[in-house]
Amino acid sequence: MSQIAFWGAVELGLVYAFVAVGVFLAFRVLDFPDLTVDGSFPLGAAVTAVLIIAGVNPWLAATVAMVAGATAGIVTALLNVRFKILNLLASILTMIALFSVNLRVMGKPNVALINADTMLSPFYGLGLRDFYVRPLFVGVLVLIAVVLVWRFLESDAGLAMRATGANARMARAQGVDTSRQIYTGMAISNALVAFGGALFAQTNGFADVTSGVGTIVVGLAAVIIGETLLGARGILLALVGCVLGSILYRVAIQVALSTDTLGLQASDLNFVTAVLVTVALILPRLRRGGAA
Amino acid sequence: MINLENIQVVFGKGTPLQKQALNGVSLTIEEGAFVTVIGSNGAGKSTLLGVLAGDVLPGGGRVTIGKTDVTRKGTAARAGLVARVFQDPLAGSCGALSIEENLALAARRGESRRLTPALGPKRREHFRERIAELNLGLENRMRDRMDLLSGGQRQAVSLVMATLAGSEVLLLDEHTAALDPGMAEFIMNLTQKIVSERKLTTLMVTHSMRQALDFGHRTIMLHGGEIVLDVAGDSRKTLQVEDLIAMFRRIRGQTLDDDALLIG
């Protein structure tokens, strides 16, 4: 594998670290199986791409993308909390609707960002090769996001959210408005995912309506790989695990695809991912003796 | 003070399974009183507790806790007034959180929760001291996950959690029923100690008639959603478990199949 391919994989892993952290918030903290991310990731990309082409500052564009993602999360939460639709189904409904929304936002299935100013533009040409600049830049943003989410989850407000996912009845008895926690958590989760989409559009130079397919599985893969590596020992390690898992996942895929003897091609990606996640899910059970 | 006025609760209204769970229950509990509640299955004990906790909103009547009318307030909205220990040791705390995180959660019961760190050095030390009072050695395991504790240990921590923030009433929902006899005794003595030290207004639901008479100042018996017995003071002191069972029989107009269950 070439150096460019390796750093490209790291970069993609860091972009998807935002997805992993978002998925961690929904699945692990809130215990809310949320498939909205398959729609909010391309939503973030679409909003950013369209705004940047319209001449909007790329940082502002990414912020708007986060608001759009948060809104998508709130819609899913609304369907579940207010209208009592099963959480998984509620998120599928939002995800399906977002496919149309994303097409409307872009006006076409694919928007290219050739030669447009992005968040990364000021950092190119400072002496560092481009394939270093991108992962470095995204890495710093990931670091900031991880620290913020970590501090939040260890605050009084964050404890209330964790209690909502862990034991909603107890949380209510402690005065926690569990409905509000689900709204807030889903908003933050999908805002992070949409920001991942915004970065994806800017580092890859395009937004595509189909780029969201399988986002949830990739995010979940990262979370599970992280848990397998670092175990369940506190919030910070769990978040670091999400990031490491996301990078490792991308590097593993890159290795698998660039190893000729395996005979894999890019279109086998989804299958490889599904197998990887399945193995990661089954392994802990096998270790416990299979009876669980 | 707690005041229940003519509380009506009907489950499954308009369906073939309609059940009048509470039928015109009125009850006043003075501040600092420790009341025990007994009754057979389906008598309305859990519903009564639910009405006080906010899990069950009555179809009629009025609920006052302290000086606040909470009749229409849900569980979370009145949590500042109500502390609670559940029957199921797993229900009262978060297994996935550490002991100290559970305490931090409970310390802000009914208050706003901001972005301030949940566990500063001062709070940590305070929690440690409170847990050390239990003499269970848990003060050295503050960062352990709650689900590593035994049922009895979890109930003991739950009791501490219930007293970290102020409350107008402490609700105990058969909180020793799921424990082995030794641990149940430990938890009951701990309950007694905490309630008297802190002068908490307490309502304890129990399956055990022995417990109902041995603890507290007043005992009420529920049957068919109504209060059928309410004893306090001297008449309660002379009351024996056998008398209660006799009363139970008279009220039900039938012999009890399983006395052991009630004496327990």
B262 band by pLDDT with thresholds 50, 70 and 90: low
Contacts of A180 in chain B (CB under 8 A): none
Measured CA to CA, the distance from residue B169 to residue A152 in angstroms comes to 32
B254 band by pLDDT with thresholds 50, 70 and 90: low
Residue A148 touches partner B, C-beta closer than 8 Å: no
Measured CA to CA, the distance from residue B89 to residue A158 in angstroms comes to 23
Checking DSSP bridges between strand B202-205 and strand B34-38, what pairing results, if any?
Answer: parallel
3-state secondary structure chain B: CEEEEEEEEEECCCCCCCEEEEEEEEEEECCCCEEEEECCCCCCHHHHHHHHHCCCCCCEEEEEECCEECCCCCCHHHCCCEEEECCCCCCCCCCCCEHHHHHHHHHCCCCCCCCCECCCHHHHHHHHHHHHCCCCCHHHCCCCEHHHCCHHHHHHHHHHHHHHCCCCEEEEECCCCCCCHHHHHHHHHHHHHHHHHHCCCEEEECCCHHHHHHCCCEEEEEECCEEEEEEEHHHHHCCCHHHHHHHHHHHHCCCCCCHHHHHC
Residue B46 touches partner A, C-beta closer than 8 Å: no
3-state secondary structure of A207: strand
Q: Specify if A39 maps to a domain.
A: yes
Residue B220's DSSP bridge partners are: B37, B230
* pLDDT at residue A186 in the model: 98
Of A151, A162, A175, the CB nearest to B76: A175
Angle between helices A156-166 and B99-107 (to 10 degrees): 110
The number of beta carbons lying within 10 Å of the beta carbon of residue A155 is 19
Residue B84 touches partner A, C-beta closer than 8 Å: yes
Second-level CATH architecture of B2-93+163-263: 3-Layer(aba) Sandwich (3.40)
Q: Which amino acid is at A149?
A: V
Of B82, B96, B117, the CB nearest to A154: B117
B260 band by pLDDT with thresholds 50, 70 and 90: very low
Measured CA to CA, the distance from residue B204 to residue B142 in angstroms comes to 28
Q: Specify if A258 maps to a domain.
A: yes
Q: Specify if A254 maps to a domain.
A: yes
Of A157, A166, A170, the CB nearest to B113: A157
Taking 70 as the threshold, does the pLDDT of residue A250 lie above it?
yes
- CATH no. for residue A234? 1.10.3470
* pLDDT at residue A17 in the model: 98
Residue B204 touches partner A, C-beta closer than 8 Å: no
Checking DSSP bridges between strand B82-85 and strand B169-173, what pairing results, if any?
Answer: parallel
Measured CA to CA, the distance from residue B102 to residue B251 in angstroms comes to 43
Contacts of A155 in chain B (CB under 8 A): 113-118
Residue A162 touches partner B, C-beta closer than 8 Å: yes
Contact A156 B108 (CB under 8 A): yes
Contact A158 B118 (CB under 8 A): yes
Taking 70 as the threshold, does the pLDDT of residue A47 lie above it?
yes
Q: Specify if A247 maps to a domain.
A: yes
Contacts of B92 in chain A (CB under 8 A): 170, 173
Work out how many domains chain A is built from and give that number: 1
Short-list B105, B79, B156, CA closest to A164: B105
Contacts of B115 in chain A (CB under 8 A): 151-152, 155-158
Contact A159 B110 (CB under 8 A): no
Residue B261 touches partner A, C-beta closer than 8 Å: no
pLDDT per position as a tens digit, A145-190: 999 999 999 999 999 999 999 999 999 999 999 999 999 999 999 9
Contact A155 B118 (CB under 8 A): yes
Q: Which domain holds residue A61?
A: 3-287
- Mean pLDDT, residues A203-213 taken together: 93
* pLDDT at residue B36 in the model: 96
* pLDDT at residue A289 in the model: 59
User: Quick one: B195 exposed, middle or buried, by C-beta within 10 A (0-12, 13-18, 19+)?
Assistant: buried
The DSSP letter of residue A111 is E
Rounded mean pLDDT of chain B? 91
- Mean pLDDT, residues A109-129 taken together: 90
Contact B105 A158 (CB under 8 A): no
Residue B108 touches partner A, C-beta closer than 8 Å: yes
Contact A166 B96 (CB under 8 A): yes
Measured CA to CA, the distance from residue A108 to residue B247 in angstroms comes to 79
pLDDT per position as a tens digit, B208-229: 888 999 999 999 999 889 998 8
Checking DSSP bridges between strand B82-85 and strand B34-38, what pairing results, if any?
Answer: unpaired
* pLDDT at residue A81 in the model: 97
Rg of chain B over all Cα atoms, to the nearest angstrom: 19
* pLDDT at residue A271 in the model: 84
Percent of chain A with pLDDT over 90: 75
CA B164 vs. chain centroid, Å, equals 16
Residue A147 touches partner B, C-beta closer than 8 Å: no
B239 band by pLDDT with thresholds 50, 70 and 90: confident
Q: Specify if A259 maps to a domain.
A: yes
* pLDDT at residue A62 in the model: 98
Least Cα separation, residue A182 to chain B (angstroms): 14
Find all residues with CB under 8 Å of B71, minimum gap 6, and list them.
Answer: B57, B58, B61, B62, B63, B64
- Mean pLDDT, residues B39-56 taken together: 91
ipTM of this complex > 0.95? no
Least Cα separation, residue A162 to chain B (angstroms): 8
Contacts of B109 in chain A (CB under 8 A): 173-175
B49 band by pLDDT with thresholds 50, 70 and 90: very high
Taking 70 as the threshold, does the pLDDT of residue B82 lie above it?
yes
Checking DSSP bridges between strand B226-232 and strand A110-112, what pairing results, if any?
Answer: unpaired
Find all residues with CB under 8 Å of A196, minimum gap 6, and list them.
Answer: A15, A16, A17, A18, A19, A22, A41, A44
Taking 90 as the threshold, does the pLDDT of residue A126 lie above it?
no
Question: In chain A, which residue's Cα lies nearest the Cα of B98?
Answer: A234
Percent of chain A with pLDDT over 70: 98
The two three-digit tokens of residue B95, written as one number? 């297994």
Taking 80 as the threshold, does the pLDDT of residue B256 lie above it?
no
Mutation for A interface: B52, B99, B113, B170, most A CBs within 10 A: B113
Contacts of B116 in chain A (CB under 8 A): 155-156
Mutation for B interface: A170, A172, A178, A182, most B CBs within 10 A: A170
Element (H, E) at A22: helix A3-23
List own/partner pairs for B13-18 with CB under 8 A and 24 or more apart.
Answer: B13/B59
* pLDDT at residue A36 in the model: 97
Contact B114 A175 (CB under 8 A): no
The two three-digit tokens of residue B208, written as one number? 């055990």
Q: Specify if A292 maps to a domain.
A: no
Of B77, B95, B114, the CB nearest to A166: B95
Residue A250 touches partner B, C-beta closer than 8 Å: no
Residue A177 touches partner B, C-beta closer than 8 Å: yes
Contact A178 B117 (CB under 8 A): no
Taking 80 as the threshold, does the pLDDT of residue B248 lie above it?
no
Least Cα separation, residue A265 to chain B (angstroms): 41
Measured CA to CA, the distance from residue A123 to residue A132 in angstroms comes to 11
CA A224 vs. chain centroid, Å, equals 13
B152 band by pLDDT with thresholds 50, 70 and 90: very high
* pLDDT at residue B170 in the model: 96
Contact present, B4 and B51 (Cβ < 8 Å): yes
The two three-digit tokens of residue A96, written as one number? 């399906």
Contacts of A158 in chain B (CB under 8 A): 115, 118
- Mean pLDDT, residues A97-115 taken together: 94
Percent of chain B with pLDDT over 70: 95
A287 band by pLDDT with thresholds 50, 70 and 90: low
